[in-house]
Structure 1
């Protein structure tokens, strides 16, 4: 058979077996996806066709002609997050992205080129990048070290030189930099420095003339041969060798921009854009949230970077329209629940004392690939002093999503879009000593359809709403030992309720004896400290694994209660498991602050700490993955929450600077093989990724053979999904053709045969 005949045979075979092959290819194993906010703009630049928008957590472009918005993140090659400013050089067609940690990216032709030299430079003091100015193939960064000059003509950029400035023998930072005519100008807290562009020794501070000594300057602008500078609350114009006072701005100018015969002031306090003509008559004034910059393309095409409204276009004298790629309204999400390609987040906050902070950003959902945000600004039920939603989960009976607030009660969002909001006037109890606060800080469903939750700080800190709508309240004397001590509710396989005292190493287990309406037969136990096997000084999270064990995360590692059904007998002590990593042995996650633990379909544990994410084996004795900001697109090593989608295997990771998801190898297994999916299928020529077989009976035996029955590969499913690296036992890639996949549970009562095609 020649090569053309072989290819024809493979295509014909593929068509013949098309009924067995998924026509909806899925994302591959190992795929990262960002879920970042794009509505927090801190800087903008343009090439005339595209607007480049820097945000606190990401970066995106907006095509002025097509209206297309393209988001970018570390997944796409960005070096960092938390941008401080941005500029664009027309000569080299390069956008210069500057970060708060002094890192730098050059963006050209849809690719990023990292320039970490300034970030890595060992100096005493701050290296903050305050502004960027570009001209003729060079970028001039205003930094706390001086002006850092970057040669953009080199593909990856190169720091050419640095200009430093002194006053009274002390080096001063540069807040802004620019050029007019034959001169460079640098604004500093000590005044305005000027030098001839053609001076070959600009690194020598004596090459610069100080003008307006003692004036603390923040911004510069250049228009019609005029040089403007702003001070703390004033506008100045350069008049020969002096700065002439023009007017008082009454507050600090964050950015000073120019337009057609106009100046734009981005004012910090009051957050306004004020437009003035060159006779200093106010032409317009529009209020924003936290204003950063104005960009005039034409007088009728004016754009604004605002930290609350994002990239906005001024549409009239008093209104604007906001533009941003879809995403959550905020990065911080302490509450997170994922299921079947959808997820829900709670966007509130609390301080180190576990107290609400008045965060009104509400809640959000990502459903059917569509984001929806519910905030105090766009959702009427949240208008009236509603804040700090910190937990969320799903009611498995009716599919409603439950959100708990550390200040404003319980909000239930139903599948049809209707809602129930329990706050003041409901059967929820306020916090003792603070009747304005109703705190619901953990929620869990039991196997009977009852929804349980903790009312942090109330008289009865454990409560439930039965499936028929009846409310129940419970208390234990131990809650008086640790007042306001209820969080992190978990229900074990014996229907016992486990919860802990925030900022303490104490756990309470409550057993209602399967009689939710009868407290006379209830029992409870109090666990505390090392005598109970609890590591550390603070319990931070709890979860139940697939074997019914309770995993407890603390500020000093993990304790495991593998005898949860016996805990009321007083003989169940948490185990501080000793594990061997490389050549070292120690307690599981000793010295690590464990913020969250999630269990995947293979009973493996995803552990979130202040030093990144670990995936460990079911018993915790093996590290499978570790992800940090250095080896993954994670925006931060501080992990707040993790939720695993058992259907897709996606692991949603909430960090202090945004949410990422990772397509992992395990899914939830079923009792039968259901809708078995092989992807990619066909396997394209040259493909070196992981092949996944999903929809399997739990922990299935999976054997892959060629069409003649010769074994190519054998494995055990990770929960409901088997994975294969695409090579046989000899390390060779199989030849082109059809391969059979034989699937069976342990006793052989559930079997399935699927097919896949290799293309070469």
Structure 2
């Protein structure tokens, strides 16, 4: 009676706790790293490889690579194992959290199965999915609590087996079936257990017999033999009634797989491939070119595919070991990108993070990535002069091929034409090391840099007397500016996060313990000021992490306790009692502070003066220019973001693509707006002609930039009229009036330097086939431009 009730309950949970995920590929693009591989499986002449939180498929016959990530509907959580069912053409993806996702090869859909994830009687640390094993349409799931059974035909759960003493939850590393008995390799000294597959009462732990004692990491059936590996590295051959130790592996297997009638053991530094007689066919190890740790391996068509920590999947022959072939999709070095810069036609990415207390330790030395022409490239770590903790990226505004990257330990790195050329430190520049009792200790903590309008590069260094520096790339001249009037002597709290320079040349600096600072060397009387009191709307525990100047020269400030705005930056030095403002919004008729208490990690302003705001644990917000309207709020629940922890945001102003670096991967979003041009000379309309197969006319969502007729190359304030060839007005829009984000369901709207028309006229009807005239007028300069577009219905 108990068993039937339990099974019914599990089935109900299985049916109710699954759901198909959304495909976000229309507007989003994933930029995941596929260097570190968790698992590799085979199926239908393909291999499937799981990285940290994304999967790629490699067709061994065509060499085609396909990625499956959060953009295609995966959760973005940390993957622990894979399995491919050739019978059902399902790829099962298991996660450390207990989540299982079923990817259908036939329709590219993703089914999220959350039964294990949401089980209340299993602690979260025990929910990790360790392995899948299929038998006649039933998948036996090895977990850290026991074994669960999943029916691929009905896509629903069956029984769960807690097989420890007294029905305790124990770790099961792997399951196999041999001679109609199910074997479980158990951890923590719980041995190798078995039970008859036909036993109707397997949920009773007493039906499970311990075959071998100890801790077992793997168990596999190969043809008519059974093999189990103990944590001591000893391999046992089991015939059902007895066991024999046949050899000892040189390392503990991280993965044990049967494929192509071969048994493959993957160890940290070795992969062994055995035939059905358990004769060693081939062994593989790292090489000088591929010096890495192995994680997993499978065989297919007399070839081996090895998952690594650094090079994706390595392919080699079984008959004769040749040079490795590297297989992986193009992507960045790692998922944990810390800083981004997409302000030029190149997207730069660095990995040198420091803590919220401005501590760079433990020091990490990693390379640099840049994304150009739709491909990721590496600048290797051994070419960076030993610089560690590289973070903020600042291209020269007058020479985009020259890029400066801050090091929060070694100073400032200069890159020219994608090659590191100079590392500026205390020996060859005006940069200074913090002072300790050790005269040989050099530690130059540069966090933020920015160019002013004259081409001077300004930098801010923590824990020194003169933290603000200027550098002229043309003359090589350095200047230093002391903060001792406010901060004396330098100590561990004299740290700085961000730097912004306004149109008046004032340097705005976000600090750890000294509030918001302003420095303008052109102010003769007290060029250094700060705001750090409750009277100025600054909390004593507030850290000023991120700064952004908008198109009205207003300073938007991200702190550890929410959002602040300094509206009058131009009159700051004349104001004897300046104050930061909170953004007050109405929510269901109640006034509240926008993003109150949120840790704001980054703020960026787009061509429409809208604000992109990243947070520590609440995802990304996209606000109207005044913050009163939330246009988007992206989280892991409603978008392909793999994490709600946002490290950085950067905008490619030329095409309106927004890049978001999270703790678990980089995503880009086609927002659709663009920066404005100085004149209308390069204004154009596309697509042109609008052909019938471009099936977007008459749609209503102007926020989907894959649809609609676009007009780009606009200036800051324009009015646009669209008429038919006879001069009848069809549609009209004006900058700052007809906004895509307004929610007013416009047929024609302008976002920065781009306008979008949905093909409907003033009567809200789709226009007929014909030529339409676009009349653009600049409201400030009175410049005009006439374009024509052919619409074919």
User: Normalising to structure 2: TM-score of the pair?
Assistant: 0.85
Worse overlay, 505-514 or 365-374: 505-514
Matched with 1:721 is 754
Mapping of residues 632-651 of structure 1, within 5 Å: 632-651=639-658
1:392 — aligned with what?
393
Specify the alignment match of 2:294 in structure 1: 291
- Number of aligned residue pairs: 717
Pairing of 1:483-502 with structure 2 (within 5 A): 483=491, 484-502=494-512
1:105 equivalent in alignment to 2:101: yes
Structure 1: distance between partners of 2:210 and 2:324: 40
CA distance in 2, matches of 1:87, 1:259: 12
Show the counterpart of 1:698.
716
Q: Which residue of 2 aligns with 1:568?
A: 573
Tell me, yes or no, if the aligned pair for 1:89 and 1:135 is still in contact at 8 Å.
no
Aligned to 1:734: 767
Residues 1:759 and 2:792 aligned together? yes
CA contact (8 A) 1:132 1:141 kept: yes
Structure 2: how far apart are the matches of 1:317 and 1:538? Answer: 56
Q: What residue is the counterpart of 1:6 in the other structure? A: none
Aligned equivalents of 1:321, 1:398: Cα separation in 2: 38
Deviation at 1:43, TM superposition (A): 0.6
Q: Which stretch of structure 1 is more off in the superposition, 234-243 or 70-79?
A: 234-243
Q: Which residue of structure 2 aligns with residue 593 of structure 1?
A: 599
> Does the CA-based 8 Å contact 1:88-1:134 persist in structure 2?
no
Structure-2 change in CA distance of 1:532 and 1:626 (3 Å) = same
Alignment equivalent of 1:166, drawn from 148, 154, 164: 164
Distance in 2 separating the partners of 1:75 and 1:677: 31
- Specify whether residues 415 and 684 from structure 1 end up closer, same or farther in structure 2 by C-alpha distance, changes over 3 A only: same
Note if 1:68 corresponds to 2:64: yes
Q: Identify the residue that residue 266 of structure 2 maps to in structure 1.
A: 266
Unaligned segments of structure 1, at least 5 residues? 1-27, 515-519
Task: Report which stretch shifted further, 471-480 or 591-600.
Answer: 471-480
Query: What SS does structure 1 have at the residue aligned with 2:313?
Result: strand
Contact 1:80 1:635 (C-alpha < 8 Å) held by counterparts: yes
Q: CA deviation at 1:404?
A: 1.1
Question: Structure 2 vs 1, CA of residues 748 and 538 (structure 1 numbering), >3 Å: closer, same or farther?
Answer: closer
3-state DSSP of counterpart to 1:568:
coil
User: Cα deviation per residue 1:386-439 (whole Å; 9 max; x = unaligned)?
Assistant: 322111021112221211121232222213746322246322322332734322
Higher relative contact order (CA 8 A, sep 6+): 1
1:737–1:758 contact (8 Å) kept in structure 2: yes
Do structure 1's residue 508 and structure 2's residue 514 form an aligned pair? no
Does the 8 Å CA contact 2:76/2:641 hold for their aligned counterparts? Answer: no
**CA 1:175 to 1:182, structure 2 compared with 1: closer, same or farther past 3 Å?**
same
Aligned position for 1:311: 313
Match of 1:404 in 2: 406
Task: Determine the structure 2 residue equivalent to 1:223.
Answer: 222
Cross-structure match for 2:9: none
- For 1:499-530, what per-residue CA distance to the aligned partner results, in whole angstroms no more than 9, with x for missing partners? 1223x36122111118xxxxx87710122143
Higher alpha-carbon deviation: 249-258 or 563-572: 249-258
Instruction: Write out aligned runs for 1:201-220 (5 A).
Output: 201-213=201-213, 215-220=214-219
Matches within 5 A, 1:13-28: none
Q: Distance in 2 between matches of 1:168 and 1:160?
A: 21
- Aligned mates of 1:679, 1:244 — CA distance in 2: 73
Work out whether residues 29 and 690 of structure 1, in 8 Å CA contact, stay in contact via their aligned partners in 2: no
Measure how far apart 1:262 and its partner are: 6.6
Task: Normalising by structure 1, report the TM-score.
Answer: 0.88
Shift in Å, 1:158? 2.4
> What is the correspondence of 1:338-417 to structure 2 with a 5 Å cutoff?
338-356=342-360, 357-376=362-381, 379-382=382-385, 384=386, 386-399=387-400, 400-415=402-417, 417=419
Gap change, CA 1:549 and 1:310, over 3 Å in 2: same
Give CA-to-partner distance per residue, 1:571-593, whole Å, 9 cap, x none.
32111121223433211211211
- The equivalences for 1:646-661 within 5 A come to 646-661=653-668
Partners of 2:351 and 2:561 lie apart in 1 by: 27
Q: Structure 2 unaligned runs (5+)?
A: 1-23, 700-706, 735-749
Partners of 1:512 and 1:521 within 8 A in 2: no
Contact 1:362 1:387 in 2 (8 A): no
8 Å Cα contact 1:256/1:264 also seen in 2: yes
Residues 691 and 162 of structure 1, relative CA distance in 2, 3 Å threshold: farther
Q: CA RMSD in A?
A: 2.7
Distance 1:235 1:732, change over 3 A: farther
CA 1:165 to 1:492, structure 2 compared with 1: closer, same or farther past 3 Å? same
Tell me the alpha carbon deviations over residues 536-569 of structure 1, each in whole angstroms, 9 at most, x when there is no partner.
Answer: 6222211111111111101221111112223334
Residues 144 and 169 of structure 2 are in contact (CA less than 8 Å); yes or no, is this contact kept in structure 1? Answer: no
* 2:628 matched residue in structure 1: 621
